[in-house]
């Protein structure tokens, strides 16, 4: 239930605190910016009882039940394609006739255009005082295009009426005027000689018509590779052969029938280089029923503005999409991926927005609707990728997910999203959702957003109904911050699905077959008033960045009042017109532009003092301008690597006449994504100097960060370089529990004596993003979490409760093994990457059930509703990659120990280091660990009447060579790994080739359990073994885990884990009070390598 009240925030918290004692209340949330609260209850009966009680509470203005709303995307909702096509045919002819005749005379009068009236212009075709032509003063210019064949040849017209494809530079005769045809996809091409291109019945192409005729019309078909194919009225497709001849004889599309249609901007246009731009008819179309985006971009793209935050209240945003990720809003008070609600707003790690459907800080889109909306608003412009949004740069897209994967959501969650938008500084919200049911709580929330100066763009609805009679909410609310938007199609007609209303819908915008971004880095066409509304959001953002001093109501008046009247919207909308970005910017031009200072600061300095990774703190110092006569203040901004202005850092710094000014940052902050440097600018009441101005002082951001933990253990596998004074071999490193704050590990020669500076750097071991399983969220305390022998984790959540949520973050590769799993179908789910589990797992697979975890970060998200709870689940997470094997050398020996330190960039964690002893194998030592046999294999052993005969094969280590291994020896051992008996069989080393040894024992000792193999040389035997279990003794069983003396080991170099957890994977001949680890038998690999 949404409860609105007008008391102070403290009183609200007290009031809601009392409601928490009411039976059936599950959760409450105060929305202080809107003066409201949301109360979640366990049943409809509890809801009705509480609503009835609150009706009599004098402190409560209204208390209403929650409702449901849905997306207003027409795709997938049974679009009547045939009816739509018929309507195009019925209406397009009349529209094209009007279009072909130019703008009707009545529309050339300034009185017919709000943009002209706002400047008090009168008469016919009056220019603005700035010299910029207004739409009422403009005439329609036909599209100029060039056609390029698949071979790269360009189509060229000749004055004699021929059309050819030529190679080389494009002459002036290769430019054609694109004239709209009589059907929706029809066009005609007019040559520079004022002739029309035509096809005859034989498929021959001519350029000799003086006036349009049926034979001059071609139908455009867009191919998936962004090329076009052109069909004649006789059914043939235009093609070019190897000689350059142009014809239209083929009925199918091959490479020869594919052309690149290059649109050429006019003098008053600026085109984007994004490959999908030519298919974004809503931005620019030869039919001219578009928002005149290129004409607007000629004036302003937002690239040098202060920026603006637009909240997309929808199904979320794919914040990894390459055409969106640089435009995302970043919460400056939230530290990413630390599992903490840093800003105390109730959401953990809400870096780019929040998820109100799941109550998390992750607004990732699982439906595609919100991502599509976001791309229309602010897809990155002119980056040569995908599509372009209305606002090229400067918009900060805030993802506020309240709609689920089915496109449905609660009104209360929409209200919570609106509260978040207001609280975090959004100026525009895009709302492509709604329903037939009105909610007084939602109406109040929008009214209070209006009071906060937030514009609310709303989709009018897709039922094709008249909203004056059959309302769609929230678009129908009569609130002065709402802009209700209908949809038009490319031929200028009102979309067949679009709602309309002469007194309830403000304007129309492109909404049919709109190309935009979708999750996964892709692009797709969607239709609906959902696609029309974000065009309005984008234009509003563009206007507001162009004139930042405007109020919300002024921006709304400009957007609504600057439409281009079109016949199909007359009587169907309040304005009778189509959204027009160029008109809107021209209308905003009437307001005085900023007059920023003539000089800027001389220099800026900043040094990070915050130890957190990805967070900054400290003091910014600015050297003031020499002349501050027109300077009121200074401000510091983040700047991207490409030089684009991002968010401001802190507040402004008043100009006081002092030479040096400081901005002290009282709390840590996270920079926006892609921020690479800081820039200082000067400003006054009218505006600020652009960050791209000459001599603007800039300083690169250098993150001073310390790793949160160091390595947990080391093992030196022995020197394989037998030259005296040189060292080479493998270092095994047990990584930090989390490498989120580690870029690498520095390996130094340790100081020879205490309190001495350590020696030179030997090597660097790269971090790989390893993360031990870490649980965050309110339900983690309910889980039973235990450590497994291999360092993995076991998670148990039996008989779980309602409204649980938790996220377990780990890293792959590895596996997750389920031994129990039974949850409520659909509603209580465990999401692992892109796979979601629910229900009784044993009904579909055999338990235990193993899933592979891919390399890289892995999230395991658990969420339940408030209804049915079942027996729950138990699973184990096993990771590989915990141990890093790093080869060092050959290097000169400068000591007897290595010291290893975790580092983040050039900063080291010096209070959490590890040491390991290293010995120079100068030719006088037994074989090192790394030279131990790789495996010991049975080649046909026979055990009979207490005797053992046959042969075994030794697979040498890749590190073994004639210099440090002369022979291999096989012995008998008991179940603890202790060598017993008199048998000792040797065979010379064979380099890297396997070695076979014959075994013959007449009487086996009673307690024999294994054969063990070691490497040796003239200085003795190595201290690591390969094991082979005798089948009559152990069968498939391996020996007990680990080896040691049962006491804590004081030598950090021996405790590889660094945590005494009995998981070390090595064998030393002097430490065998316990049995050797079974990993050696299973993997056939001695030492820590078995963990891999």
Q: How far apart are CA 233 and CA 208, in angstroms?
A: 17
Task: Tell me the C-alpha distance between 532 and 750, whole Å.
Answer: 66
Helical pair 529-546 and 581-589, crossing angle rounded to 10 deg: 20
Query: What are the angstrom distances between the C-alpha of 515 and each of 270, 496, 522, 524?
Result: 20, 19, 10, 5
530 catalytic, yes or no?
Answer: yes
1082 φ, ψ (degrees, to nearest 5): -70, -40
Entry field: residues in the chain: 1092
Q: Which two tokens stand for residue 376?
A: 């229309």
* Residue 585 backbone phi and psi in degrees, to 5: -70, -35
314 is catalytic: yes
The CA distance from 858 to 812, in Å, is 7
Burial class (CB in 10 A: 0-12, 13-18, 19+), 1033: middle
The C-alpha atoms of residue 623 and residue 629 are separated, in whole angstroms, by 16
Q: Is 490 exposed, middle or buried (0-12, 13-18, 19+ CB in 10 A)?
A: buried
Q: Which residue among the candidates 113, 284, 352, 369 is catalytic per the annotation? A: 369
Residue 691 tokens read as: 């960050």
- Provide the token pair at 333: 């008070």
CA distance 728 to 722: 9
Question: Where do we find the tokens 């435009």?
Answer: 327
Please, which residues have CB within 8 angstroms of residue 1075's CB and are 6 or more apart in sequence? 975, 976, 977, 1039, 1040, 1041, 1043
* Per-residue DSSP letter, 109: B
CA distance 606 to 622: 9
* Chain centre to alpha carbon of residue 233: 46
Neighbours of 267 (CB within 10 A): 6
Answer positive or negative: Cα dihedral of 578, 579, 581, 587.
Answer: positive
Q: How far is CA 185 from the centre of its chain?
A: 36
Q: Rounded CA gap, 645 and 937, in Å? A: 66
Q: Catalytic one among 484, 495, 496, 530?
A: 530
Q: CB neighbours of 116 closer than 8 A, spacing ≥ 6?
A: 110, 126, 134, 136, 137
State which H helix or E strand residue 583 sits in.
helix 581-589
Query: Which ranges of 256-410 would DSSP assign to H, the alpha helix?
Result: 293-299, 369-378
Q: 216, 188 in Cβ contact below 8 A? A: yes
What is the Cα–Cα distance from 808 to 776, expressed in whole angstroms? Answer: 6
Of residues 541, 574, 558, the one with CA closest to residue 475: 574
Cα distance between residue 1002 and residue 944, in whole Å: 10
Four-residue CA torsion sign, 711, 712, 716, 717: negative
C-alpha span between 391 and 11 (Å, rounded) = 42
Query: Tokens representing 87?
Result: 């309507």
Whole-angstrom distance, CA of residue 41 vs CA of residue 30: 15
73, 314, 610, 722: the active-site residue: 314
Q: What is the DSSP letter of 751?
A: P
Cβ(476)–Cβ(500) below 8 Å: no
d(CA 328, CA 343) in angstroms, rounded, equals 18
CA-CA-CA-CA torsion sign (250, 253, 259, 263)? positive
Short-list 296, 248, 249, 245, CA closest to 270: 296
Which sequence positions are flagged as catalytic?
314, 369, 530
């Amino acid at each position: 239930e949404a409860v609105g009240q007008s008391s102070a925030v403290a009183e609200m918290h007290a009031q809601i605190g009392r409601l928490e004692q009411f039976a059936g209340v599950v959760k409450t949330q105060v929305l202080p910016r809107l003066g409201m609260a949301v109360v979640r209850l366990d049943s409809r009966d509890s809801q009705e009882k509480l609503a009835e009680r609150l009706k009599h509470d004098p402190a409560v203005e209204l208390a209403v039940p929650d409702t449901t709303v849905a997306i207003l995307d027409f795709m997938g909702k049974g679009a009547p394609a045939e009816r739509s096509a018929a309507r195009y045919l019925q209406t397009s002819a009349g529209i094209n006739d009007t279009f072909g005749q130019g703008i009707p005379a009545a529309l050339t009068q300034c009185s017919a255009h709000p943009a002209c009236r706002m400047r008090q212009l009168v008469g016919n075709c009056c220019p603005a005082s700035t010299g910029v032509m207004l739409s009422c003063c403009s005439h329609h210019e036909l599209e100029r295009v060039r056609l390029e064949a698949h071979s790269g040849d360009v189509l060229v017209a000749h004055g004699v009426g021929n059309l050819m494809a030529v190679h080389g530079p494009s002459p002036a005769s290769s430019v054609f005027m694109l004239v709209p045809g009589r059907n929706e996809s029809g066009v005609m091409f007019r040559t520079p000689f004022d002739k029309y291109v035509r096809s005859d019945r034989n498929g021959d192409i001519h350029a000799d018509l003086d006036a349009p005729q049926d034979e001059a019309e071609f139908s455009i078909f867009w191919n998936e590779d962004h090329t076009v194919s052109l069909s004649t009225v006789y059914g043939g497709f235009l093609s070019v052969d190897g000689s350059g001849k142009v014809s239209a004889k083929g009925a199918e599309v091959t490479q020869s029938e594919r052309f690149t249609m290059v649109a050429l901007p006019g003098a008053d246009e600026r085109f984007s280089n994004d490959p999908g731009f030519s298919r974004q008819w809503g931005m620019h179309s030869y039919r001219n029923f578009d928002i005149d985006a290129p004409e607007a971009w000629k004036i302003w793209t937002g690239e040098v503005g202060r920026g603006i935050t637009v909240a997309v209240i929808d199904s979320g945003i794919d914040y990894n999409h390459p055409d969106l990720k640089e435009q995302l809003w970043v919460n400056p008070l939230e530290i990413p991926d630390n599992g903490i609600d840093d800003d105390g707003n109730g959401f953990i790690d809400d870096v780019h927005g929040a998820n109100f459907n799941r109550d998390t800080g992750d607004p990732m889109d699982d439906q595609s609707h919100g991502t599509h909306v976001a791309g229309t608003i602010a897809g990155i412009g002119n980056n040569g990728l995908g599509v372009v949004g209305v606002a090229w740069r400067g918009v900060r897209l805030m993802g506020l997910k309240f709609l689920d994967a089915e496109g449905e959501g609660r009104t209360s969650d929409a209200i919570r999203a609106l509260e978040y938008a207001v609280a975090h500084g959004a100026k525009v919200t895009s709302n492509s959702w709604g329903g037939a049911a009105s909610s007084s709580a939602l109406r109040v929330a929008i009214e209070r957003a209006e009071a906060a100066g937030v514009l609310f763009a709303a989709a009018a609805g897709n039922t094709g109904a008249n909203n004056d009679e059959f309302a769609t909410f929230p678009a129908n609310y009569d609130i002065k911050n709402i802009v209700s938007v209908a949809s038009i199609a490319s031929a200028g007609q009102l979309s067949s699905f679009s709602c309309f209303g002469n007194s309830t819908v403000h304007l129309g915008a492109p909404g049919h077959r709109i190309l935009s971004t979708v999750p996964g880095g892709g692009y797709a066409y969607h239709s609906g008033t959902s696609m029309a509304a974000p065009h309005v959001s984008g234009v509003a953002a563009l206007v507001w960045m162009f004139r930042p001093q405007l109020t919300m109501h002024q921006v709304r008046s400009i957007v609504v009042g600057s439409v281009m009247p079109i016949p199909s919207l007359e009587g169907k909308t309040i304005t009778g017109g189509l959204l027009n970005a160029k008109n809107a910017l021209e209308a905003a031009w009437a307001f005085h532009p900023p007059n920023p200072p003539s000089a800027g600061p001389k220099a800026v300095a900043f040094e990070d003092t915050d130890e957190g990774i990805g967070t900054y703190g400290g003091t910014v110092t600015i050297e003031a301008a020499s002349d501050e006569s027109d300077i009121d203040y200074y401000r510091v901004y983040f700047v991207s690597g490409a030089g684009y202005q991002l968010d401001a850092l802190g507040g402004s710094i008043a100009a006081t006449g002092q030479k040096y000014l400081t901005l002290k940052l009282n709390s840590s902050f996270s920079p926006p994504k892609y921020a690479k440097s800081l820039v200082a600018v000067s400003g006054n009441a009218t505006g600020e100097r652009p960050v791209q101005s000459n001599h603007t002082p800039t300083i690169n951001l250098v993150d001073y960060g310390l790793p949160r933990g160091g390595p947990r253990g080391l093992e030196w596998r022995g020197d394989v370089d037998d030259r005296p004074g040189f060292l080479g071999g493998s270092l095994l490193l047990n990584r930090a529990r989390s490498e989120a704050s580690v870029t690498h590990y520095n390996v130094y020669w340790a100081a020879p004596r205490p309190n001495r500076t350590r020696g030179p750097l030997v090597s660097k071991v790269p971090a790989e993003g390893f993360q031990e399983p870490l649980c965050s969220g309110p339900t983690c305390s309910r889980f039973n979490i235990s450590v497994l022998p291999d360092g993995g984790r076991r998670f148990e959540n039996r008989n779980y409760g309602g409204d649980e949520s938790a996220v377990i973050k780990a890293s792959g590769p590895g596996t997750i093994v389920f031994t129990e799993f039974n949850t409520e179908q659909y509603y209580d789910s465990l999401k692992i990457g892109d796979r979601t589990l629910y229900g009784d797992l044993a009904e579909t697979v055999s338990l235990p059930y193993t899933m592979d975890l891919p390399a890289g970060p892995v999230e395991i998200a658990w969420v339940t509703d408030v209804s049915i709870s079942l027996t729950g689940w138990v699973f184990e997470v096993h990771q590989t990659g915990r141990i890093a094997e790093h080869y060092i050398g050959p290097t000169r020996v400068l000591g007897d120990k290595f010291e290893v330190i975790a580092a983040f960039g050039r900063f080291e964690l010096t209070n959490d280091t590890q040491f390991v002893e290293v010995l120079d194998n100068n030719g006088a030592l037994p074989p090192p660990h790394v030279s131990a046999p790789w495996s010991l294999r049975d080649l046909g052993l026979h055990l009979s009447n207490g005797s053992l005969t046959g042969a075994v094969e030794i697979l040498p280590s890749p590190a073994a060579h004639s210099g440090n291994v002369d022979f291999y020896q096989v012995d008998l051992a008991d179940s603890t790994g202790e060598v017993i008996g008199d048998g000792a069989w040797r065979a010379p080393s064979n380099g890297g080739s396997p070695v076979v040894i014959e075994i013959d024992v007449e009487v086996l000792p009673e307690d024999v359990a294994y054969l063990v193999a070691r490497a040796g040389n003239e200085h003795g035997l190595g201290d690591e073994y390969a094991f082979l279990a005798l089948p009559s003794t152990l069968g498939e069983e391996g020996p007990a885990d680990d080896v040691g003396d049962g006491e804590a080991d004081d030598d950090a170099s021996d405790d590889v884990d660094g945590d005494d957890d009995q998981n070390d994977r090595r064998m030393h001949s002097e430490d065998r009070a316990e049995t050797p680890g079974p990993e050696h038998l299973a993997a056939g690999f001695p030492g820590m390598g078995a963990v891999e």
